[in-house]
Structure 1
Amino acid sequence: MSRFSLEQTAETDGFNGPEPVVPVTSVQKVEADGMQIFYRSAGDVTAPALLLLHGFPASSFMFRDLIPRLADEYRVIAPDLPGFGFTEIPKDRKYSYSFDALANTLAAFTEALELERYAIYVFDYGAPAGLRLAMAHPERVTAIISQNGNAYEEGLGDAWGPIRKYWAEPTPENRDVLRANILTFEGTRWQYTHGVENPESIAPESYTLDAALLEQPGNKDIQLDLFLDYASNVKLYPNFQEYFRRAKPPLLAIWGKNDPFFIPAGAEAYRKDLPDAQVQFLDTGHFAIETHAVEIAATMKEFLQANGIVRDVGEVPGR
């Protein structure tokens, strides 16, 4: 398995002095849980680790602007969850697409990379998968950054209506409603642009890539299975909340306040169990990272540093 280290060189352009060193993001695969897990990584391997967990219908591609903004101080790792992006699952693996399974795969992934301590950035689907991981290994999680990653009933917006109906009545008819209205190019684009002041500012390759990957044979049924299993996450909310009270992880909830799926009340609710949680709202939608990557990166760094998640003083970066 290959490892990536940050280049430390800087050159002068002859006019403005030394050019800033921009961390380079590598793309790799590692075998874990019987599959080839695709992931993006950057930063020095000796730096504190950040595990970035994407949501539906995205992949680690959603972190393309965030990773280099964090990797000058942290080792940043972003995997593609099974059923998303470029992670490859052998057909004979007979993978069961559930949030329990996603969490088990994440656990195997972190062990394959020998990650013993890490902060987690959870978004959308990444939240229930990542929080399962945190409950199983609370000693490993140094902090949680939740960007529209819900853990409270009051955080579920009206956009969940058709999916809630599917939970209550998992009929072929209700399944087909979701297939026809959510698992389409326009449905994917809407998730990226709704609540954004200037929808045309959203890079089209983001939702276009997601939509193209959804069209892979069998993928829409995978997503429909996960829609149905999302009800298991709601049932686990009390367990997540008990984990917060018991483990008391430092938590930053940074939220696109115009998100129709996970509404601001979900961010505020973290303070019920973590009174010191930091909550910040951004004037954007579900995919806040598409419009506010600079602000999110800066806030994350301040939050992590304030909670002592920094490279040890005097530590020499690895090569």
Structure 2
Amino acid sequence: MKLTMTRSIVFFIVATLVLTLVSNNLASAEELSPAAKAATMKVEYKTVKVGDLEIFYREAGPKDAPTLLLLHGFPTSSQMFRNLIPALADKFHVVAPDYPGFGHSSMPSHEKFAYTFDNIARVMEEFTELIGLQRYALYVQDYGAPVGYRIAVKNPKRITAIVVQNGNAYDQGLDNDFWKPLKAYWKEPGDKGKRDALRGFLTYDATKWQYTHGVKNIELVSPDGPAHDQFMLDRKGNDEIQLDLFLSYGSNPPLYPKWQEYFRKYQPPVLIVWGKNDLLFPAAGAEPYKRDLKNIEYHLLDAGHFALETDGDYIAMKMRAFLEKNLK
């Protein structure tokens, strides 16, 4: 009788310990960081035909979840979002395309395709329609801002929120020495010397500089990003494509008042996560967003142009909280 009771007590103690361990493990799993919980999310690599172009894109997450459209900058592609996508894909449907002439999308010569921001925005808008995106939040960085804001102005009711990471919609921030040769080219587009003066921006040293300038810890920057980008930049004919886009960037500042009017009229929720040490798009370009937007969350990061390389976990955390609050 005593032996049976002793066995029962031991069994009860062991069972209690097992249940406690299981419960603790489940609780720990629920407390995992967003990036850890999303680590097993599968990213799919797809292409879709937009007219004569093959547009490459990365896609992950449940398609019935709120959609995020990630729009990359120069000189990169959707690869800049390689870590952000799985960090968000457990709760969001994430789509990141490559523009024509970038990444793995078609790269027709600049004689056969007009590399302007108007045309790229048109292709990206058609891309969203072809893959069935009805409403979506935007993530815009660098070139992504003039592409995304053109789409937003044309389709304001489709845009659920905007995440801005070093992307201008105001003149402030475009007045430093970096922009002088670009502005000189805008004034005299037929001047071959002014066009050729910009070729230095297409070298590996310039690409690597964009990744490392203003970074607090260079050891956090993977060399894979600039190496991948430069491989794509070095394709025959891509230099002329990029120089055409440098010229077309001059079409963006005249549109800033229209974009600002969109902000004031439609008041999209906006999250600013801006690398404050960026020389191309300094923090001065982030501040004016506060003038026109009521629902704005504002963070200046101790980071450079490609803030995702060093502060991706923080940006993902801020995005999750902001989007979960605003996309209801």
Structure 2 residue matching 1:110: 3-state secondary structure: helix
Letter matched to residue 202 of structure 1: V
Matched, 1:270 2:292: no
Give the corresponding residue for 1:155.
173
* Identity of matched residues, %: 51
Change (3 A) 1:112 1:93: farther
CA contact under 8 A between 1:34 and 1:89: conserved in structure 2?
no
Give the corresponding residue for 1:301.
320
1:118 to 114, 131, 136: 136
Q: CA deviation at 1:267?
A: 1.0
Structure 2 residue matching 1:260: 3-state secondary structure: coil
Letter matched to residue 143 of structure 1: A
Note the aligned Cα RMSD (angstroms): 1.8
Stretches of structure 1 lacking an aligned partner (at least 5 in a row)? 1-15, 311-319
What does residue range 41-80 of structure 1 map to in structure 2 within 5 Å?
A: 41-80=59-98
Matched, 1:205 2:224: yes
Matched, 1:134 2:126: no
Structure 2 residue matching 1:290: 3-state secondary structure: helix
What TM-score does the superposition give when structure 1 sets the normalisation length?
0.88
Q: CA deviation at 1:40?
A: 0.4
What TM-score does the superposition give when structure 2 sets the normalisation length?
0.86
Change (3 A) 1:27 1:52: same
Q: Distance in 1 between matches of 2:120 and 2:77?
A: 13
Q: CA deviation at 1:199?
A: 2.3
Stretches of structure 2 lacking an aligned partner (at least 5 in a row)? 1-24, 30-35
Structure 2 residue matching 1:265: 3-state secondary structure: helix
Matched, 1:233 2:252: yes
CA contact under 8 A between 1:40 and 1:60: conserved in structure 2?
yes
Higher helix fraction (1 or 2): 2
Q: CA deviation at 1:286?
A: 0.5
Q: CA deviation at 1:201?
A: 2.7
Change (3 A) 1:182 1:141: same
More displaced, 18-27 or 73-82? Answer: 18-27
Q: How many residues align?
A: 294
Q: Distance in 2 between matches of 1:90 and 1:177?
A: 24
More displaced, 292-301 or 191-200? Answer: 191-200
CA contact under 8 A between 2:268 and 2:295: conserved in structure 1?
no
Letter matched to residue 319 of structure 2: M
What does residue range 1-319 of structure 1 map to in structure 2 within 5 Å?
A: 20=37, 22-89=40-107, 94-158=112-176, 159-170=178-189, 171-179=191-199, 181-307=200-326, 309-310=327-328
Letter matched to residue 177 of structure 1: A
CA contact under 8 A between 2:173 and 2:281: conserved in structure 1?
yes
